[in-house]
A and B are shown apart, each in its own frame.
Chain A
Amino acid sequence: MEIAYFPGCTLKTTARALETSALAVAKTLGIAIKELPSWTCCGTCYSLAEDDLIKQVAPIRTLARTANLGYSILTTLCSVCYNTLAQANLFVKAVPTRLEKINAFMEEEANYAGNVEVKHFLTLLQELGAEKVSEAVKRPLSGLKVACYYGCLLLRPQNVAIDDPEQPSILENIMKSIGAEPVFFPYQVECCGSYHTAVKPEIVARRAHLILENAIENGADIVVTSCPLCSFNLKERQKDIKRLYPGFKGLPVFYFTEVMAEAFGITKILKGI
Chain B
Amino acid sequence: MRLVLKRQDDLLKKVEEISGENVFACYQCGKCSAGCPMSTEMDLLPNQVIRLLQLGANEQLLDCRTIWLCASCFTCTARCPKGVSLTRLMEGVRLVLLRTTKEDQVSPKEMEKEFLPQVALISALRKFTT
Interface residue ranges, A against B (CB under 8 Å): 8-10, 13-15, 41, 44-52, 78, 80, 152, 155-158, 165-166, 189-191, 193-199, 201, 203, 206-207, 228-229, 232, 236
Contacts of B95 in A (CB 8 A): 49, 52
Least Cβ distance of A245 to chain B in Å? 15
**Among A13, A50, A206, contact of B117 (Cβ-Cβ < 8 Å):** A13
Classify the interface of chain B: helix, strand, loop or mixed.
helix
Asked if A45 contacts B18 (CB within 8 A), the reply is no
A-contacting 9-mer, from B23-31, B45-53, B55-63, B73-81: B73-81
Known A152-B75, A199-B110: A14·B117 in contact at CB below 8 Å: yes
Whether A44 contacts B73 in the complex (CB less than 8 A), given A15-B117, A191-B37, comes out as no
Total A-B Cβ pairs within 8 A? 125
The answer for the CA separation of A253 and B75 in the assembled complex, in Å, is: 23
Interface of A is mostly: loop
Contacts of B17 in A (CB 8 A): 50-51
Bits for B78-110, please: 1 = Cβ < 8 Å to A, else 0: 100000010110011001000000000010001
Q: If A51-B18, A157-B78, A191-B38 touch, does A199 touch B119 (CB 8 Å cutoff)?
A: no
- What's the Cα separation between A153 and B7 when bound, in Å? 37
Distance in angstroms between the alpha carbons of A49 and B89 in the assembled complex: 9
Complex Cα gap A246–B26 (Å): 42
Task: Tell me how far the C-beta of B54 lies from the nearest C-beta in chain A, rounded to whole angstroms.
Answer: 20
- B6 proximal to A (CB < 8 A): no
Interface residue B126 (Cβ < 8 Å from any Cβ of A): yes
CB distance from B130 to the nearest CB of A (A): 12
Interface core residue of B37, B38, B40, B106 (most chain A CB under 10 Å): B37
* Nearest CB in chain B: distance from A121 CB, A: 17
B37 x A49 contact (CB < 8 A): no
Name the A residues within 8 Å of B18 (CB-CB): 49-52
Assembled-state Cα–Cα distance A13/B71 (Å): 23
- B120 — which chain A residues lie within 8 A by C-beta? 194-195, 197-198, 229, 232
B3 to chain A, nearest CB (A): 27
Across-interface contacts of A152 in B (CB, < 8 A): 72-75
CA distance A46 to B77 in the complex (A): 16
* A9 with B77, Cβ < 8 A, contacts A45-B72, A50-B19 known: no
**Which of B71, B91, B124 is in CB contact (< 8 Å) with A191?**
B71
- What residues of B have a CB within 8 angstroms of the CB of A236 in the complex? 114
| Nearest opposing residue in chain A for B20, CB measure | A50
Contacts of B73 in A (CB 8 A): 152, 156, 191, 194
